[in-house]
Structure formats: C-alpha cells, structure tokens
Amino acid sequence: MELLPLLLMFGLLGVMMYFMSRRQRRAQEQQQALQNSLTVGDRVMTTSGLYGTVTDTDNEQTVSIEIAPGVETEWLRAAVREKVGPVEETDDAEDLEDADEVETVDSVDPETNEPAVKDAELESGKQK
C-alpha cells in the first residue's frame, strides 16, 4: 500500500517534466524558424539589444547587419532575437524651428488705446 503514493508522485513529476520540455521545445522551434526566415531588408534586434537592417543572408551560420549608414557587421544567426517594425523617421528640425518662432501679442490697453505690452518688452522679459 505504501507503493501507490510513491508511484503517483513519480507519475505527476513525469507529466510535469513532459509539459515543461514541450513548451521549451516549441519556443526553440519558433526561434529557429525566425532565424531561418531572415531576408535582406528585415529590421532586427539582436540579443544584445542592437537594432539594424539585414543586408546579407548568404551564409548559413551568419548574417550581415547594417547598424548605421555604411556600417555593416557580421553576426551569428543565433544572435538575432526578433524582427522589429520599420523605423519611423520624424522631422525634428521642423519641430525645433516652429518652437523658436516668437508670437506677437495683440493686446491693447482699453484706456489709452496703446499696446499693453510692446514686442520689444516681450523679448526682454519686461512688462509695463
């Protein structure tokens, strides 16, 4: 009778190990499929967090990744962690130019019918 709890414990342990290895095997197969599906022009992130664009996939073990314009490095396929979306380029120069423009204030003193604050006073920070 003492054999039954021992068999149940080993059976439960065996089932847990089966499901854990199945999950790990599935993740490994997905990673292998990703690394085999790399094509020129794919935007990728390496395991070290470096972003780049795949430029050469001729070798079975390595890929060439462009990390900056004109700078290509060679990486093991296993170092590619994931494909990422394309880079969204924003025009920061236009945003900075818009922020530097000074707006004029059109406020008028109702008693004297003169500008309440002159443009020159606005630029120097002085007020009436």
Residue 47's identity, in one-letter code, is: T
Q: What is the mean pLDDT of residues 35-44?
A: 90
Q: What value does the mean pLDDT of the chain take?
A: 80
pTM given for the model: 0.53
- DSSP designation for 53: E
The CA-atom distances, in angstroms, between 112 and each of 87, 109, 115 are 56, 6, 9
Mean of the pLDDT values across residues 30-40?
A: 89
**At residue 92, does pLDDT exceed 70?**
no
126 vs 33 pLDDT, higher one:
33
Q: Which of 90, 92, 121, 94 shows the shortest CA–CA distance to 105?
A: 121
Residue 59 is predicted with a pLDDT of: 87
Evaluate whether 55 touches 68 at the Cβ level (below 8 Å): no
Residue 115 pLDDT > 90, yes or no?
no
pLDDT, mean of residues 41-63:
92
Residues for the chain: how many in total? 128
**pLDDT range class, residue 71, cuts 50, 70, 90:** very high
Quote the tokens at residue 84.
């990422």
- Are the CB atoms for 52 and 67 separated by under 8 Å? yes
pLDDT reported for residue 124? 58
